[in-house]
Amino acid sequence: MTDWCGELAVRAALSIPANIAEKASCATDKDFAKFLQVALESTTEVEYHLEFAADAAIIPRREFTLRQQQVIEVRRMLTGLVKHIRQTDR
């Protein structure tokens, strides 16, 4: 990827685990779920950067498809964790 596009994608990707780690020891599950939601939103940002890079022919379409599948899997895992935490926090 070009420098600026790659940097944006990396920042967005790194914000996913950073948000999880930052509040993994939160006082409440409700607070932790909020940070997981922010991490979940970052997956959409990563997917956008990947799609832009593929559309601009910065990365091959095959690379986009592979990375998109990985982002979708992370999103599914985060969604499941958020749902679980919200259900057990009642």
Measured from the Cβ of residue 73, the count of other Cβ atoms closer than 10 Å reads 11
Write the CA distances from 33 to 16, 17, 67, integer angstroms: 13, 13, 25
* Domain of 24, in residue numbers: 3-88
Residue 2 clears pLDDT 60, i.e. is over it: no
The residue to which tokens 């091959």 are assigned: 60
pLDDT in tens, 33-87: 888 888 999 999 999 999 999 999 999 999 999 999 999 999 999 999 999 988 8
pLDDT of residue 76: 96
Contacts 24+ apart (CB under 8 A), 67-74: 71/43, 71/46, 71/47, 72/47, 74/16, 74/43
Into how many domains does the chain fold?
1
The answer on pLDDT for 90 being more than 70 is no
Q: What is the CATH number of the domain that holds 43?
A: 1.20.1440.60
Q: Look-up: residue for tokens 């990707």?
A: 13
